[in-house]
Structure 1
Amino acid sequence: MKRILVTGGSGFLGSHLCDQLLAEGNEVLCVDNYFTGRRENIAHLLQHPRFEAMRHDVTFPLFVEVDQIYNLACPASPVHYQFDPVQTTKTSVIGAINMLGLAKRIKARILQASTSEVYGDPEVHPQAEDYWGRVNPIGIRSCYDEGKRCAETLFFDYHRQHRLDIKVMRIFNTYGPRMHPNDGRVVSNFIVQALSGDDITIYGDGSQTRSFCYVDDLISGMVALMKSRDDFTGPVNIGNPGEFTMLELAEKVLKQVGGTSKITFRPLPQDDPKQRQPDISLAKSELGWEPRVALEDGLQETIAYFRSLLNA
């Protein structure tokens, strides 16, 4: 049994990670400032004897004793991270410094939840970990993209300078139960619009692609990385290489939800990537990991969650 700190633990991914870590017999300290995380996501854990929840903002130092740290704290959808872009950058950069400082002091292994957004609007397809990316440093998405890139820099400098035990994963689009209904992400957008009987909004012409990883697969990859051999730091892509256009995704959602929603088109936002697909060769070879849940099956679970949430 380990005592494990999860920052951003009441968020979409963090709450599922807490579930998994508890199921493996660990003690879990969930830290969140509830900016995008929701207590509803961890309500079922609050009475668990090995679970503790703490309200805390990672931009301030934290003094606890744990064996491992999963650093997930940061708003991850454009609607939320663009609401207060300065705070988003602070959360990624100062939050990383604080968690790395904690890990250094207590000699804990620390995992950084980075993102496929470090690749920006890529010129290489699919994206492998040795691609440095194409990111606009002054655009409206930069607070998140560059914040996460700087966090990776800090992790590797702490590793080189202080021999800190680090793991860095780059998360590609993930979906599933407990997504925030108003997070502006494409899967939740399409499902909520379809369940509400509204038209489904596609930005651009619908030809841009994304790869969608079901949350259970993502969490299994995250835990596998934390447990990987000491000399493997990453970064490693964790995502589903199945690639779908926005139009294909909208049609799949409509087929499962039914109803009378139609598809409408609006202009593409600034710096929105045209393609996104992970090369997961490294995850396969180093972690023995690959996703198992097909998009249709994952959508079925996610739609059922939103249907109960919206009473639709």
Structure 2
Amino acid sequence: MHLKKRILVTGGAGFLGSHLCDRLIAAGHDVICVDNCFTGTKHNVYHLMDDPHFEFMRHDITFPLYLEMDEIYNLACPASPIHYQHDPVQTTKTCVHGSINMLGLAKRTRAKILQASTSEVYGDPEMHPQREDYWGHVNPIGTRSCYDEGKRCAETLFMDYHRQHGVRIKVARIFNTYGPRMHPNDGRVVSNFIVQALRGEEITIYGDGSQTRSFCYVDDMIEAFLRLMGTGPEFTGPVNLGNPHEFTIRELAERIVAMTGSRSKIVHKPLPHDDPRQRKPDIALARERLGWEPRVPFEEGLIRTVAYFEEFLRAL
């Protein structure tokens, strides 16, 4: 028999959070979506607003929250440099105070809690591909540190609440993810290139474009979250979630130009400070413990994402 749960999704009106809310509602759970709408938007969850099993709450998780929950997915935090550098102190607070508040809630209600961590905990990696036992190469005082070190501290808090208080935790290290509902102005390469191509603007590559990234389609990532949350108490993670298939940034730009039939020219700008040269997950642990690997081919995911942005730009 299906067990109905009360599930809290922080950052639930964001890109990943809104897709997670969709899956949880479809599975028959009661979902409370919490978001302060700094980067998330109610537009992403409008289609759920009339569902009796869905509730939207505008709230900033740096302040405590008093609810009764069975599970918590802690996704709240701006995740692109353009947004997390806008208010770096608030970014660190969201990672640290937000985690303390959500872990306190999980401790009180005996809820299972998943932390959306990030591949940024590896910094500019000296190991390639990155495995979970790699401790990273991170600048603690750079312009990206509010996010990188904030997320590293959040992982510390999760592990210590687990060891000290027996809180049931899951830690997901998320690598680049793309798909519909990405923020159009978040400065990430997939959304940036698609919007620039569709508008016929110059496509801006930072550096020579030889730096690599790996891209996982959003549906695959949400499936991984659900599988991770469903594992037994002995498995806490951290576990890498992402697509191990690597592309150069230049390859990505050329694919998007071809796919959109755009006349956009590709231009080069200086590489930002602390921008990692390569990012590729080793997902052996996810394959072994979750039986998971990405299924949606990159071309297919790109087609769906381009279609979303075409519709989005038409509606402006």
Q: Secondary structure at the match of 1:131?
A: coil
CA distance in structure 2 between the partners assigned to 1:229 and 1:242 by the alignment? 29
Q: Are 1:10 and 2:13 counterparts?
A: yes
Alignment counterpart, residue 22 of structure 2, candidates 3, 19, 28? 19
Cα deviation, residue 122, structure 1: 0.1
Q: Are 1:148 and 2:147 counterparts?
A: no
In angstroms, what is the RMSD of aligned CA positions? 0.7
Alignment counterpart, residue 272 of structure 1, candidates 271, 275, 281? 275
Q: Which amino acid aligns with 2:297?
A: A
Structure-1 residue corresponding to 2:211 = 208
Q: Are 1:164 and 2:159 counterparts?
A: no
Q: Secondary structure at the match of 2:128?
A: coil
Cα deviation, residue 99, structure 1: 0.2
Structure-1 residue corresponding to 2:254 = 251
Structure-1 residue corresponding to 2:286 = 283
Alignment counterpart, residue 58 of structure 2, candidates 55, 59, 62? 55
CA distance in structure 1 between the partners assigned to 2:166 and 2:312 by the alignment? 45
Structure-1 residue corresponding to 2:44 = 41
Structure-2 residue corresponding to 1:110 = 113
The within-5 A match list for 1:70-85 is: 70-85=73-88
Q: Which runs of 5+ in 2 are unaligned?
A: none
CA distance in structure 2 between the partners assigned to 1:115 and 1:48 by the alignment? 31
Cα deviation, residue 127, structure 1: 0.3
Cα deviation, residue 199, structure 1: 1.0
Aligned identity (percent) is 72
Q: Secondary structure at the match of 1:201?
A: strand
Deviations 1:23-73 (A, max 9, x none): 111000000000000010000000001000001000000000010000000
Q: Which amino acid aligns with 2:110?
A: K
Cα deviation, residue 230, structure 1: 1.5
Q: Which amino acid aligns with 1:266?
A: K
Alignment length (residue pairs): 312
Q: Are 1:173 and 2:159 counterparts?
A: no
Deviations 1:118-176 (A, max 9, x none): 00000000000000000000000000000000000000000000111000000000000
CA distance in structure 2 between the partners assigned to 1:189 and 1:138 by the alignment? 27
Q: Which amino acid aligns with 1:226?
A: M
Structure-2 residue corresponding to 1:184 = 187
Cα deviation, residue 311, structure 1: 1.3
CA distance in structure 1 between the partners assigned to 2:34 and 2:54 by the alignment? 11
Deviations 1:173-201 (A, max 9, x none): 00000001000001000000000000110
Deviations 1:195-236 (A, max 9, x none): 000011000000000000000000000110000112100000
CA distance in structure 1 between the partners assigned to 2:314 and 2:50 by the alignment? 27
CA distance in structure 2 between the partners assigned to 1:205 and 1:299 by the alignment? 23
Q: Which amino acid aligns with 2:115?
A: Q
Q: Are 1:122 and 2:108 counterparts?
A: no
Deviating runs (4+, > 2 A) in structure 1?
none
CA distance in structure 2 between the partners assigned to 1:277 and 1:254 by the alignment? 24
Q: Which amino acid aligns with 2:114?
A: L
Q: Secondary structure at the match of 2:32?
A: strand
Q: Secondary structure at the match of 1:61?
A: coil
Cα deviation, residue 271, structure 1: 0.1
TM-score w.r.t. the length of structure 1 is 0.99
Q: Which amino acid aligns with 1:200?
A: I
